Amino acid sequence: KATSHLLMGPDWAVNLEICDIINADVWQTKDVVKAVKKRLQHKDPKVQYYALTLLETMMKNCGEYVQFEVAEQHVLQEMVKIIQKKNDMQVRDKILLLLDSWQEAFGGPGGKYRQYHWAYLEVKRTGVVFPRRPIDAPPILTPPAIHNSQNYGSPGYAAGSLNERMSSDVDTLSLGDLNNIRNVTELLNDMVYALNPSDPE
């Protein structure tokens, strides 16, 4: 719906609703990013442009989970491919702007997600000139909300051994809970697999 070819312009309400869904349940991030990637592969430049707008909105509003999955699900390579095909100018310029701003926001070649810088370099190597960003452009990534540290830490449990608590919790797990646990372990697996053991950071 957020990337429909029938839209006359970006549907900000739907885009932000998608961000709210991700922020409420981060384990859906992978599937949402995969769906956006699929829309980027659409032949209609209008659909591609709305997919890029949605992706930009998610990057700004959903934090690390989206940033990680965009790199992990090869969305950046898909964006580079679109530029290499010399597609619609509006789509091309949007991708160039995003790649340039993202690689800078993540600290360039020595940054947290080097895939963003690699994608930027891959495009630059082909001789493409990146458009200048407006001076009054809004921040690329919205800083995370600062939470009061007293909200964190171990919750206070009632008396009773951990084993007792765990066995009683297992009885109340629904199919949805089990699916969430599976999604969490899949995401953890993806994150661990993406780590470079020779990189101390």
> Tens of pLDDT along 132-160?
766 666 555 554 444 443 444 444 444 45
Q: What is the pLDDT of residue 199?
A: 74
How far CA 84 is from CA of 28, 31, 91, 121, 128, in Å, comes to 30, 26, 12, 13, 9
Domains of the chain by start residue, with CATH: 12-126 (1.25.40.90)
> What does the pLDDT look like over 75-117, one tens digit per residue?
999 999 998 887 688 999 999 999 998 888 887 777 778 888 8
- What does the alpha-carbon distance between residue 131 and residue 13 come to, in Å, rounded to a whole number? 28
CA atoms within 13 A on the CB side of 85: 14
H-run or E-run covering 171: helix 162-171
pTM value?
A: 0.66
Q: pLDDT tens across 16-68, in order? A: 999 999 999 989 999 999 999 999 999 999 999 999 999 999 999 998 899 99
- H helices within the chain, ranges in order? 12-24, 29-40, 45-61, 64-72, 75-84, 89-105, 114-125, 162-171, 175-194
